[in-house]
Amino acid sequence: MRSERKVWSRIRTLTDGAATGLAVLSTVLVVAPLVAIFVYLIYKGASSLSLDFFTKIPKPEGESGGGMANAIVGSAVLLAVSSAIGIPIGIGGGIFLAEFGRGTKLANAIRFTADVLNGVPSIVMGVAAYALIVSPQKSFLPFTGHFSAFSGGVALGIMMIPTVCRTTEEMLLMVPNAVREAALALGVPNWRSVLSITVKTASPGIITGCMLAFARVAGETAPLLFTALGNQFWSTSLNEPIAALPLQIYVYAISPYDDQHRLAWAGALVLIVLIVAAVALVRYVTSRGVLKGAS
């Protein structure tokens, strides 16, 4: 009896050790590829970055040199369009969820739809934007009938809405009710109280939420493949195909030329620095809480 129990207890201890070991091992296996990606990216990217990268446009295939200046500007244009669409609508939706619809069936349905929309593949957004803007010759929307920066911006903007909406809601919910009551008790109309007090109080959180959505779509390629299309030349017109950093990285990554591979790495480094900065900022602000100084 006694020895049996001893063996059993031994087995339990061993299982415990093995499980701990496996958990540690999987953690290592998760961290390893990330470290590998980052080290390689920084190594390849930094050695390929040069002033030309930021100031020149691409050279024709096979020629060496050139840069991605037009893609950087193009990404900026696309992101401006998408932010103009995604941020106001997203914040408005978030305000509704947190301030007006709390607990209602409509709000629950919208929250659920936003979460589901967040999971729709970005390539599907591209197909929808194509069908909505690129393909029709006449429509209620501007710039229809051909590939354009506008169509790419719309696809990205739609993708921003659910993220902005949900983070805005979360941040507003962190504002204590006492703050709302204090504003209302001063005889402030509700809309002023929401905008000038509640939203303002949560604004660091909301801004970082917008940055997170911004960083996400900044790296999106799939929805641009057949909307913004890409462009080897300078263009800032909403009515024309436009270059974008992630698109250019994709095109260069699958090209056969070493020189273009180098540009792809450099582009990837620039993109990732932007994104890591945004994520780190979001983490910093949310860990500090939306209310600076509030106990």
Partner 1 sequence: MGVGIEVINLNAWYGTNHTLQDINLHIPANQATALIGPSGCGKSTFVRCLNRMHETNPIARVTGTVRIGDLDIYEDAKPVQIRRRVGMVFQRPNPFPTMSIYDNVASGLKLNGYTNRRVLDEIVERSLKNSALWEEVKDDLKKKSGASLSGGQQQRLCIARALAVDPEVLLMDEPASALDPVSTSKIEDLIFELKSQYTIVIVTHNMQQAARVAEKTGFFLNGRMVEFDSTHKIFTNPSDKRTEDYITGRFG
Partner 2 sequence: MADKGFEWLMVLCALSIFAIVVLIASELVKGSNLSWNQFGFDFFYKSVIDSYTKLPNYWDPVNGHFSALPFVYGTLVSSFLGLLMAVPLAVGLAVFLTEMCPPVLRGPLAFITELLAAIPSVIYGLWAVFVLVPLLREYVNPMLIKLFGWTGFFGDDNPSGLGYFAAGVILAIMILPIISSLTREVMTAVPNSQREAALALGATRWEMIWISVIRNARIGIVGAIILGLGRALGETMAVTMVIGNSPGIYRSLLANGTTMASVIANEYAEASNDLHRSALTEIGLALFFVTIIVNAAARLLVWAVTRGAPARVQ
In angstroms, the Cα distances linking 175 to 180, 196, 293 are 8, 13, 13
Report, in Å, the least distance between residue 178 CB and partner 1. 4
Report, in Å, the least distance between residue 86 CB and partner 1. 25
Q: Is 287 in the site for partner 1 (CB under 8 A)?
A: no
Report, in Å, the least distance between residue 105 CB and partner 1. 13
Per the CB < 8 A criterion, the answer to whether 130 and 144 are in contact is: no
Candidate list 26, 47, 196, 239; residue touching partner 1; CB under 8 A: 196
Q: Is 200 in the site for partner 1 (CB under 8 A)?
A: yes
Q: Is 110 in the site for partner 2 (CB under 8 A)?
A: yes
Query: In angstroms, rounded to a whole number, what is the distance separating the alpha carbons of residues 160 and 171?
Result: 17
Using CB under 8 A as the binding rule, the residues of this chain from 65 to 104 that contact partner 1 are 103
Report, in Å, the least distance between residue 250 CB and partner 2. 5
Q: Is 185 in the site for partner 2 (CB under 8 A)?
A: no
Which are the contacts of 133, defined by CB distance < 8 A and separation ≥ 6?
Answer: 139, 141, 143, 144, 148, 150, 151, 154, 227
Of the two residues 234 and 284, which places its CB atom closer to partner 1 in the complex?
Answer: 284
Structure tokens at 148: 């354009």
Per the CB < 8 A criterion, the answer to whether 124 and 50 are in contact is: no
| Binding range to partner 2, per CB under 8 A, among 61-69, 73-81, 123-131, 174-182 | 123-131
Q: Is 106 in the site for partner 1 (CB under 8 A)?
A: no
Q: Is 232 in the site for partner 2 (CB under 8 A)?
A: no
Per the CB < 8 A criterion, the answer to whether 164 and 213 are in contact is: yes
Q: Is 7 in the site for partner 2 (CB under 8 A)?
A: no
226 binds, among partner 1, partner 2, none (CB under 5 to 8 A by kind): partner 2
Report which of 6, 33, 48 is spatially closest to residue 249, judged by C-alpha positions.
48
Which are the contacts of 241, defined by CB distance < 8 A and separation ≥ 6?
Answer: 147, 148, 149, 228, 229, 230, 231, 235
Query: In angstroms, rounded to a whole number, what is the distance separating the alpha carbons of residues 182 and 78?
Result: 41
Interface pattern 125-164 for partner 1 (x via CB under 8 A): ----------------------------------------
Q: Is 142 exposed, middle or buried (0-12, 13-18, 19+ CB in 10 A)?
A: exposed
Q: Is 185 in the site for partner 1 (CB under 8 A)?
A: yes
Candidate list 189, 273, 277, 280; residue touching partner 1; CB under 8 A: 189
Q: How many residues bind partner 2, per CB under 8 A?
A: 97
Other Cβ atoms closer than 10 A to 162? 23
Of the two residues 201 and 260, which places its CB atom closer to partner 1 in the complex?
Answer: 201
Which are the contacts of 98, defined by CB distance < 8 A and separation ≥ 6?
Answer: 168, 169, 172, 173
Site residues (vs partner 1, CB under 8 A): 103, 176, 178-190, 192-193, 196-197, 200-201, 203, 291-295
